Structure 1
Amino acid sequence: MEVCVIAKCTYKSETMMFSVSSESSMVDILKTLCLRFKGLQLGCFTLRYSLPSYPSCFLETDSDLDMMRTFLFVSNEKSVDILVKDLCGSSEYSGDFCVNKELIACEKGESSCSSTVEDRNEFLGRSKRASAKPLLSNEWETYIHHVGQKFDGGAEEFRLKLCKYALEVGFNFLYAGNDKKRVVAICSNKKLEGCSWRVYASRCEATGCFVIRTLNNVHTCVGRIRESKSKMMKSRVVSSLIVDRIRVKPELKPVEIIHEFKDYYGIDISYYHAWFGKELAKLNVHGDESKSFNELVWYADAVKETNPGSLCTLECEAGINRFRRFFVSFGGCIAGFQYCIPLLSSVILLLPDFLMVFPFLQSALF
């Protein structure tokens, strides 16, 4: 099956096109990209291609390439968008090989090409740093992926996952519309560089969940880089990530939160975001304390109304109405205690005689 399509490959603000036939391999594609894009080196980038309803598909192995060609043939597509995500930048990467020299050496059969390089699939794992520490945020890149995707948590869940997605992919966005029924977000480079990235989601009235209605998940602005500091890392995002930690360890300090985010997510957060994120997490776990205290007045009235004879006393500090103490004794308990008085009286009267028989208990009781 002869399949030849046009690959439109975008790196930073530049786009190049080349044909991909059934004879093409991943090594051919990687070589073409490294030769055409200045400063791009093997081991410093990943490839993703975009298809209708599937904007971020892996392109790392020859089998991925075959699957892409097959899908394009079945879908009768003549072109495909391939995105290059720069992971480290050519100035920071100091790998053990140079892509151009190694590829040329392999094709010429020179001895300088190692046995591991001779296998074409060995190139594929080098699109990411092998020594990079796995982060808990790696999965965030999959949070936004196709039209029709549902978010059972409504607008709040969609906004949180959108922020985490932007953090991991490495871009900032702005809200063009944001309320309980709809959320519209555009790339922050829309005005400066005319970036076409956009997502629109709204609430499904039948189920109450949020659904992505339209999605253009291709950035046409300058290449994106995942940064350790990002405007997308807000207190609500911090709260969503530490709520389980606060439930187990309420005394967790903001400084500890800052260190954990650096170690587990590779993200630097400010002390304010750590502190306020903790407060939001506590609010999520324990509820609003001020509202809870306000409910005491209602509770006292409800007890007196539904349980006649009850005694409820709410004491607050004069002038500032700060809570001091709350006492409650249910009417049923008060009435039942009346029958316990004769029994207690008998016990008190018999206690001296009891201690005379068992003198060793006197030291234990008094």
Structure 2
Amino acid sequence: MARGKILAICQSGGEFITNSDGSMSYSGGEAHAIDINCEMSLSDLRSEISAMFNFNADTFSIKYFLPRNKRTLITISNDKDLQRMVDFHADSDTTDIFVTKKVESRIIRSVVADSGTSTDANTASVATLEEAKRQKLCINWDSMITGVGQVFSSPKAFRDALHKYAIANSFMYRFIKNDGSRVTAECTVEDCPWRIHASRSSAKQKFMIKKMNDIHTCGKELSKESRRLASQRWVASIIKDKLRDTPNYRPKDIAKDLQQEYGLSLNYSQAWRGKFIAKKELHNSHEEAFSQLSWFCERIIETNPGSVATLHTSDDSKFCFFVTFHASLYGFEHGCRPLLFLDGLSLKANKQWKLLAATAVDGQNDIYPVAFCVLDSEASENWHWFLVQLKSAFTLSRAITFVSSSQNGLEELPEVFEDSFHGYSEQQLIENFKKEMDESWTQELKNKMVGHLKRAICACKVDEFNESIENLRIQSKELAEWVLGMEPEFWSDAFFKGLRYGHYSSGAAEIFNDWVSTRYEPSVLQIVDILRCKLMEMMYSRRESSNTWTEVLVPSANQKVQEEMIKARSLSVACSSDSVFEVSDESTNVINIETRECTCRRWQVTGLPCMHALAVLERMNGCIYDYCSKYLMTECYQQAYSLSINPIPDVGGPVCADSFHAATTCPPRTRRLAGRPKEKPAEPRIIIKRAVRCSRCQGLGHNKQTCKAQI
């Protein structure tokens, strides 16, 4: 065989047999041969084995024996383990590897000598059966943690894997450090050296195990403290499926099953609380939400005529609930620029549900929610349904510019809004850009590179865009090429065909999470009604505020024009015709008053005359307001907030009034949120202080010890 290459005999479908001398042999099944070299990765090996035996790549483990050692099976969990196996068998032409399904039982039967069956062998067999029964559900958890270099998607994913690993390996641990960037844990037994540390890898922003001492000197035996591993939510997640099929699943049976299957000792109250949480999660199911929302749809349309409220269900009992109120829909079509941001977000108050939102920007550049949809996943078909409902709700036909992250609904837009323009979110682009910079970059240099990218996004002319790209190329050719490969026609003003009016991403996630910030988990109905109340208050407060404005332009636009007017007074203007002018500063720009265009392109992009156009208008004694976008006028802003969202009485409806009332008046006990409360608790009673009277002179305000009166 070539150096660094061995012939592996892959065996599957048989079982391991323990011989009388303690060694193991493999019996039965089928075998195939495969070449393995030092350059092969574990994923490639898994792919070949899955095709060979027709297995799913995630449902089997790969094991082998060390040379001259048939007592211990070694598991191949990563590329380093595979390389070690090749190195260990470098002097052999062939080696045996064993493919075992993860769901298979690991019962090892004992082979007895010819002299007869021994009692010890039977006892060992019974013990093995008991151990197999305990590992019925957690058979794969002992390999959840494989060692240094293992990568997890998030700190939570690592903590979940560590929790299962501890249960499967029968030991307790405690956290030394535990936050969003690093997690360190150690065995709770004093002097036991077991310890693990994981943190973020700055290169790929993934969570990775950096250090691990996988040696226990404590015996790894779960004591009565093992109940600490079984948190209420963990117990609920384990028993939820069984509770759905067996509603009368008793707490003592739950404790008994967890003892047999996981080796955990739970008391009655722990099992009861786990069942309570599981029942609560099952109770707040799609069926209950559907019964609440179907009633709420009718109430929205009844109290707010012209609004659109649609409830869509699928065969698997999932649903999508779409809402746009007539006041916000009318305000967008008559008072806001034709610009919509599409966002998919998870609410912090209740992460079970997702929110799809279409938000606009008013004349003051504040966020203006137009429509939203509550559902359980951001699947492509849900995005498509949301966009179809949004289009059918519009009453005016106009080209709309959409801004969205590339993975959140953007691919569905051309199918629904054929004549509109579609752009990428600046925020998403910058986040992806930062991930391309590894830990060798200093924070100062990272900020500088992000600044170049932002200038490329806001560049109005191709020359400005190319200058920003060249600044990136000076530091890194790879990053510059990456930016050019991200299709600048979707995110740079220099190439973008639509109009974003200087807005490149939305703050929908922040505003919706601020609105639905509660200390208990709200139901779907409560989420929708909280949003309705916040929208109702927003429409009223902004309408009242704008009624006091006296300028033609909204305050923010008026201030911007005044600032540009100061710059315009120093510019030189030359007339070419009645509508075409030449303005010179550091460069020469051509302005066409009739078409409202300037070669600097800032007039077209923002909707406000640039300083070059203002210089021309001042020379012509023209009215500035005639050349501003109508969406920046006070009158148009007031029209956006001219209608009101009407209240909806008796939210909860006849179907769910009792459950809603219980949730709102007596919210379930939850963990106290971190941080100091924003408001001090109310004083329980009014305290009236009695004035101090002196016993010597009978005067007020002092006592006899400090009395200075002459007696």
Normalization by structure 2: what TM-score?
Answer: 0.26
Say which structure, 1 or 2, has more relative contact order (CA 8 Å, 6+ apart): 1
Structure holding more helix per residue: 1
